[in-house]
Amino acid sequence: MSIRLKITLWFAAALFIVIAMTYAVILSVSREVIQKTVRDTLLETVENNVDEIEYYKDITGIDLNTETDHFIIYKDGYLEVDDDFLDEVNEVYTALYSSDGTLMYGENPLAMELAGMEFSDSVVRTRTVGGELFYIFDRELTGPGLGGLWLRGVVSELQGNLQMHEISVLSLIILPVILLVAIVGGYLIAGRMLRPINNITETANMIGRGGDLKQRIEVKKGNDELHRLAESFNEMIGRLDAAFEAERQFTSDASHELRTPMSVIMAQCEYSLDETRTQEEYQNALGVIKRQGRKMSRLINDMLDFVRLERHSGCYAMEKTNLSELVSSVCQDMALIGEKGIKLSCIQGDNITACVCPELINRLLTNIISNAYRYGNENGSIKVELSEDENCIRLSVADDGIGISEDEQELIFNRFYQSDSSRSGVGTGLGLAMVKEIASLHGGSVEVNSELGKGSVFTFVLPKKPEQQVK
Ligand code: ADP
């Protein structure tokens, strides 16, 4: 079952319950209101009729032939019942009774049934007759000569039934129509709202079938959850695309770098196997094969290190480290290289500390110092300096070697980049790329300042965290 249908069904079920409850409430409230109206009408009718009865001792002078009022002989006079007396209105019946309970005027459909019922002034009472409930309201007349006379009003509870029936029928027509409109509207809106999900599915299927990570989900303007989901999905595809592209590039660069030593090894093997060679020629060929094999081995090790660094960037534990001690220890070890008569000196400050991964900082410094030896001049010098100010810590390595041209300074941090002069050397072109990666892993950067023929300064800048900054 589709989400759209599920949502619609849930919505319909909830709405059905609400509408059923509304129907019940409407019926119950209407019933209450109508019953109250019936009782109020009864009261009002009886009260109005009270003023329509008068007592006359003498009615000479009144022409009974033309008179529209009714005259009833009562005691030693007459009762005049005005022609405005409503003995039946809206099924409310009013009748005039003498004190002994004799019906004198008006109508009472329950006259027989209520014959023995005591009068009770100004109180609405109920009586069930033949399964039907009736409201009864008595009123004692108090005017001159009217003492002992009573008006009794009677109305059936069913009097409001017609209105109730109308309300019920109206509700039964209107409420299902509302339910239907809401369900259809809900179904259409759900379809519209869920459209981005269809787009996501289609795009995911297309990527799955063709592996084309350039595909994107078409999203119209909007800021609801599904639009945000589609945008996140697009960002994710973008990142995957970039990651795959980087992977592809790396594989292609790596195979390109490995191809050269491999071709040299193959050529040397063919040369040696082609025909019988002298002892010296075999030794030379094996020497070349050994050098190229070493180069491949270095390249593979560096590549593995680099890939590990990129893949597990989040797995290196950062800890509070005494950088002064770390730098001093690395310099002591590296000074032992003593290649080309180069002297290495170190200024490491006192107890400069930072939250870093010591293993990676060691690698960063080793790579830069190794380069300084590699590209340094005979009997030159390397100066390592660790310093800090209120905002950052700086670790610089200065050499007085061959230097780097301005054009190349941009490129040396790219993977596998090597200047032409250093291609034949022992480098792999991954050292500085690794340095850059380590620097950014720590939230820092690495800068180069160099002049061809004069030397280079590589500086790792590590910004201090706000709590470390000295104000
Ligand atoms: P490599 O293994 O070739 O040294 P790196 O990534 O460490 O690779 O360096 C890239 C290139 O940058 C080197 O081939 C070299 O041309 C240049 N380079 C790096 N460090 C120095 C330096 N201290 N002095 C001069 N050139 C340098």
Mutate to test the pocket of ligand 1, among 257, 260, 375, 430 (most ligand atoms within 8 A of CB): 375
Q: Extract the runs of DSSP E, i.e. beta strands, from 51-188.
A: 53-56, 70-74, 77-81, 88-89, 92-97, 103-106, 124-129, 132-140, 150-156
Closest ligand 1 atom, CA of 302?
A: 2
For ligand 1, the distance from its centroid to the CA atom of residue 367, given in whole angstroms, is 10
| pLDDT tens-place string over residues 319-349 | 999 999 999 999 999 999 888 999 999 999 9
Mutate to test the pocket of ligand 1, among 296, 306, 371 (most ligand atoms within 8 A of CB): 371
Q: Are 139 and 121 in contact (CB under 8 A)?
A: yes
| Sequence-ordered list of residues with C-beta below 8 angstroms from that of 398, at least 6 positions apart, any chain | 372, 382, 383, 385, 455, 456, 457
Closest ligand 1 atom, CA of 402?
A: 25
**pLDDT band at residue 467 using 50, 70 and 90 as cut-offs:** low
| pLDDT tens-place string over residues 78-133 | 889 998 888 888 889 999 998 788 888 988 888 888 878 889 999 999 999 888 88
For ligand 1, the distance from its centroid to the CA atom of residue 403, given in whole angstroms, is 9
- 34-38 average pLDDT score: 90
Closest ligand 1 atom, CA of 458?
A: 23
The helix-helix angle for 195-210 and 225-274 (nearest 10°) equals: 10
pLDDT of residue 25: 93
Q: Atom 14 (ligand 1): residue with closest C-alpha? A: 418
Closest ligand 1 atom, CA of 417?
A: 10
Residue 220 pLDDT > 80: no
Residue 470 pLDDT > 50: no
Mutate to test the pocket of ligand 1, among 334, 422, 449 (most ligand atoms within 8 A of CB): 422
Residue 378 pLDDT > 70: yes
Q: Extract the runs of DSSP E, i.e. beta strands, from 3-69.
A: 53-56
Q: Atom 13 (ligand 1): residue with closest C-alpha? A: 418
Closest ligand 1 atom, CA of 418?
A: 14
For ligand 1, the distance from its centroid to the CA atom of residue 432, given in whole angstroms, is 7
Q: Which two tokens stand for residue 422?
A: 């250093």
Residue type, 353: T
Question: DSSP of 170-192, one letter per residue?
Answer: HHHHHHHHHHHHHHHHHHHHHHH
For ligand 1, the distance from its centroid to the CA atom of residue 204, given in whole angstroms, is 43
The number of beta carbons lying within 10 Å of the beta carbon of residue 386 is: 22
pLDDT of residue 396: 98
Residue 12 pLDDT > 80: yes
Q: Atom 7 (ligand 1): residue with closest C-alpha? A: 431
Q: Which two tokens stand for residue 159?
A: 């009097």
Closest ligand 1 atom, CA of 401?
A: 24
Query: What is the C-alpha separation between 320 and 168, in angstroms, rounded?
Result: 78
Query: What is the C-alpha separation between 110 and 251, in angstroms, rounded?
Result: 106
- 219-239 average pLDDT score: 83
Of the candidate ranges 57-66, 120-129, 351-360, the one whose mean pLDDT is the lowest: 57-66
**pLDDT band at residue 468 using 50, 70 and 90 as cut-offs:** low
Tell me the Ramachandran region of residue 60: left when phi exceeds 0, alpha when psi lies from -120 to 50, beta otherwise: beta
Of the candidate ranges 63-67, 198-202, 378-382, the one whose mean pLDDT is the lowest: 63-67
pLDDT of residue 469: 53
Mutate to test the pocket of ligand 1, among 418, 446, 458 (most ligand atoms within 8 A of CB): 418
- The set of protein residues with a Cβ atom below 6 angstroms from ligand 1 is 371-372, 374-375, 399, 401-404, 412, 417-419, 422, 427-433, 456
Query: What is the C-alpha separation between 206 and 209, in angstroms, rounded?
Result: 5
